[in-house]
Amino acid sequence: MLRASHLPPIANPALGALRVSLFSCLSLSSPSSRLKVSKFAPFRTLIPPAFGPSSPHRSLLSLERVVPLRGLPCPKGTASFSAGSNSGGGREILVQHLLVKEDKLLVDLQHRILGGEDLSDLAVEYSVCPSKEEGGMLGWVRKGQMVPEFEEAAFNAPLNKVVRCKTKFGWHLLQVLSEREESVLQDIQPDELHAKMQDPNFLEEAQLIDVREPEEVSQASLPGFQVLPLRQFGNWGPEIDTKLDSQKDTYVLCHHGMRSLQVAKWLQTQGFQRVFNVAGGIHAYALKADQSIPTY
């Protein structure tokens, strides 16, 4: 079983402080692929090569570090400087930035961007933030995840407008590349899920995913759940858009609720609007909701 204690800490204290939530969306596969790599690639880099049947207790690295690349527009030629006034309630924004220590350098970089250079390219060369390795990409963020000065500037910036702000880390140039409605990720208790499953319409309207391994499913299972084993992520992960509808309510199940929580968080980064993790997994479901389900 995967435990929260298995997840690695944020390596850089300054970067961890900048992004004050547990979501540290600063792990892409490579700087050169920041606008071209599929959304599967960042997830793939987080799975240890040896993770497989021979290592049942081998932990995945944190899925909270995944950066979604769906719909990422190319910002070249679109940058300008502005200070708009949008509210951040109920939405998430896709942000890239660069960080420098000197305001003189910041002004020079502003002029270069206005001249047509790309902020992400300049971030690789000049930024002192670890995100420089990813072209300054911070990923999807929502209010409450960033330090106040950065958050205020980002959520007030019109799309593709380069904005500057100052935080305790230095001077930032940031650019909001895209926005979307804030998604929902929450636990659902076994008895609540059991009640929903008594309605035939629920099984038709929702999509149910069991991320346990086949040998586990053979011991205990729930009707209507599509089995997508976590160890076989390489097979189904790249095709998630063809297998599931991101606009449907999605319920994720495992043995005790930890693996399913990680997958649920990943689905959220992929644009799934309403994701529910079955709290306690099928074990809790068998104890609290339907004792005809065997435990193992």
Task: Select from 293, 272, 291 the least CA-distant residue to 209.
Answer: 272
- The residues assigned a catalytic role are 254
- C-alpha Rg value of the chain to the nearest Å: 21
Domains of the chain: 4-181 (3.10.50.40), 184-288 (3.40.250.10)
Locate the DSSP E strands across 151-296: 161-167, 170-181, 184-188, 207-210, 225-227, 250-253, 274-278
Top-confidence residue, 141 or 253:
253
Task: Select from 71, 97, 89, 76 the least CA-distant residue to 155.
Answer: 89
| pTM for the predicted model, two decimal places | 0.54
DSSP string, 101-157: S-HHHHHHHHHHHHTT--HHHHHHHH--SGGGGGTTEEEEE-TTSB-HHHHHHHHTS
* Tokens read off for 288: 């609290």
Residue 162: per-residue pLDDT: 96
Residue 43 pLDDT exceeds 70? no
CA distance 248 to 67: 21
Comparing 16-20, 103-107, 186-190, the range with the smallest average pLDDT is: 16-20
Residue 36 pLDDT exceeds 60? no
Residue 1 pLDDT exceeds 70? no
